[in-house]
Amino acid sequence: MPALCAEAVSAGYGRSPIITGISLTAELGTVTTIIGPNGAGKSTFIKSLVGILRPMSGRVIVNDVDITHLAGHRIPGHGMVYVPQNDNVFKRLTVRENLEVGGFASRADPRSRMEEVLGIFTDLAKAVDKKAGFLSGGQQNLLAIARALMVDPAVILLDEPTAGLSPAYTDVVWNQIERISHLNTAAVVVEQNVERALKHSDHVHIFVAGRNHVNGTADEIASLDLPSIFLGRS
Amino acid sequence: MQLFWLSVGFGLVTASVLAVSAVGLSLQFGITNYINFAYGDFMALGAYFSYALNNELLHLNIWVATVCGSVGMGLFAVLVNHFILAPFARRFRKTFYVLIVTFGLSLVLLNLEYSIWGADVRFFNMPMDRAHHLGPILLTNAQLIVMGIAVLLMLGVHTLLKTTRLGKSMRAMSDNTSLAMTSGIDTKRITTITWFLSGTLAGLSGTVLGITEGNLTPAAGELFLFVIFAAVIVGGVGSIYGAMAGALLIGLATEISAAYINPAYKLDIAFVILILTLLVRPSGLFARPGKA
């Protein structure tokens, strides 16, 4: 049973759909990336999974539970969390408070979970009483991921977690994503950088113009004529 | 010198009333991101609720009536949000429209109070009061109770925001509503609770304003709203601790100045402080980045 199973999801703003009939499954312990040209609907798809946008049709199933029509705030409790690209931490709360808020949706003991999470993100452990707004961009992204992990999720959705980061920090963030997936979590990542996506993921989906153009293992996707797909020639 | 200490006493009482009302206004602003211009009328209506319980209906003790009237105002605020403000806020992305609705609401509530209680000055039914000397400061029992209520409430609000799950959820939502929702916070529930707290604090501050001023009229809240705005803006809009500090500063300054120059200039003094503060610190004393 996959941790996440999106079936023929269509969604958009207003009446016209931006994404049409997109299906995607993600297994525990794997990294799935979504790549594609700008405006392909990658972020829209992620937002339609977490309740920010309502799917017009299709189903979203997490851990065998249909969450399609669930209120957005109840989705983390069902094991799926979301890390937005921008504004992804509570800037006026401390690092510790950010993590606490992340753990509200979980029934587990927040203190022991926080220790586990800070064990993964050792840099944050040194700054627990600092306001999140004073962290660097890269640290804020790591805090956002750490906050999402507080519920010990089955699925973590990350929208361009390395956008705007230095190459060194990009490596740090990707290493953490791989590490998280090895802790029995399904990571679904929207990524602009095709090379990095192919290097770090097990499965890759290419979205073009609101549709799932092609998907396969990283090796299968690497053998395709990607420039043609991205430039709309195939 | 005696006049000075007398006015310090008055200033502390005014600051207490201001602090309670300013915190109520700031809490709600932080969550909904629009200013409730009907807040002054919430205060007056809450005071009339207490007045009705104290003088007209059950003849409750003034302090029991104050608590019941304030909680009643809290519930009223929840209903106002649910049936009037929230539908507009959902419909229009720009908070400007809701701001206009709160203006309209202010007029409706003011005239509702006039139609029920008339324009006559009303008086609370208070037990005989005695004055106490606290060092050079002279304060009545009622004034001491009002100050006690304010101090306890400020400590209570601080504890709520810093240590409880509800308070942290409120601060998270005030910071970033969408992120709070996707992090698992029930934003609708938090909004409702915030309106309840804001309404209760409005009702409480309106009632204690009536008690300390010795009388009650429908327009009392609206006049006081300007002083609250001055306190909130001096402290830094959206900052709860700024609202507390602004209240202390404005409360003391207006009352001490009233001892030496014409008391009719109280409101002007509040705004002079406001302008001076904004010249030195344009975002207020305790500004929070990112909040309008």
Cα atoms in the Cβ-side hemisphere of radius 13 Å centred on B47: 35
β A155-159/A186-190 pair status: parallel
B39: β partners: none
Nearest CA distance, B244 vs chain A (angstrom): 18
**Is the CATH code 3.40.50.300 the one for domain A4-223?**
yes
Best mutation site among A90, A107, A140, A143 for testing chain B: the one with the most B CBs within 10 Å? A90
Is pLDDT at A65 greater than 90 in this prediction?
yes
Nearest to B122 by CA among B203, B35, B52: B52
Domain membership of residue B288 (yes or no) is no
H or E stretch covering B90: helix B86-91
Cβ atoms of A148 and A176 closer than 8 Å: no
DSSP-derived secondary structure letter, A94: B
Domain membership of residue B29 (yes or no) is yes
Nearest to A33 by CA among A229, A178, A230, A182: A178
Domain membership of residue B75 (yes or no) is yes
Q: What is the largest CA-CA distance in chain B?
A: 58
Contact: B171, A90; criterion CB under 8 Å: yes
Domain membership of residue B123 (yes or no) is no
> The domain that contains B236 carries what CATH number?
1.10.3470
Question: In the prediction, which pLDDT does A233 show?
Answer: 64
Contact: B165, A102; criterion CB under 8 Å: no
Percent of chain B scoring above 70 in pLDDT? 98
Give CA–CA dist B85/B168, Å, rounded: 24
Is pLDDT at B20 greater than 90 in this prediction?
yes
Q: What is the largest CA-CA distance in chain A?
A: 53
Mean of pLDDT over chain A: 90
Mean of pLDDT over chain B: 89
- Which structural domain range is residue B98 located in? 2-118+137-280
Nearest to A13 by CA among A210, A214, A230: A210
Joined together, the tokens standing for residue B101 give 């609705």
pLDDT digits (tens, 9 = 90+) for A192-228: 888 888 888 999 999 988 888 888 888 888 787 778 7
Contact: B165, A104; criterion CB under 8 Å: yes
pLDDT digits (tens, 9 = 90+) for A120-146: 888 889 999 999 999 988 899 999 999
Question: In the prediction, which pLDDT does A187 show?
Answer: 94
Is pLDDT at B292 greater than 60 in this prediction?
no
Report residue B48's pLDDT band, with 50, 70 and 90 as the boundaries: very high
Extract the runs of DSSP E, i.e. beta strands, from chain B.
131-134, 137-140
Contacts of A234 (CB under 8 A, 6+ apart): A225, A228
Average pLDDT (A59-63) is 94
Give CA–CA dist B13/B219, Å, rounded: 20
CA torsion angle for A9, A13, A15, A16 (degrees, to 10)?
-70
Question: In the prediction, which pLDDT does B213 show?
Answer: 83
Domain membership of residue B111 (yes or no) is yes
In the chain, the amino acid numbered A140 is Q
Contacts of A7 (CB under 8 A, 6+ apart): A23, A58, A59, A60, A61
Domain membership of residue B221 (yes or no) is yes
Joined together, the tokens standing for residue B2 give 């005696």
| Crossing angle of helices B165-175 and A95-103, rounded to 10° | 110
pLDDT digits (tens, 9 = 90+) for A72-125: 999 999 999 999 998 999 999 999 999 999 999 888 888 889 998 999 888 889
* Structural domains in chain B (count): 1
- Domains of chain A by residue range: 4-223
Contacts of A79 (CB under 8 A, 6+ apart): A3, A62, A63, A151, A153, A154, A155
- Cβ-Cβ contacts under 8 Å, B176 against chain A: 87, 90-91
Contact: B181, A93; criterion CB under 8 Å: no
Contact: B181, A147; criterion CB under 8 Å: no
Nearest to B169 among A74, A92, A104 (CB): A104
B289 has a chain A CB within 8 A of its CB: yes
In chain B, what is the straight-line distance between the N-terminal and C-terminal CA atoms, in Å? Answer: 42
Question: In the prediction, which pLDDT does B290 show?
Answer: 44
Joined together, the tokens standing for residue A233 give 């020639």
Burial of B112 (0-12, 13-18, 19+ CB in 10 A): middle
Best mutation site among B26, B160, B169, B182 for testing chain A: the one with the most A CBs within 10 Å? B182
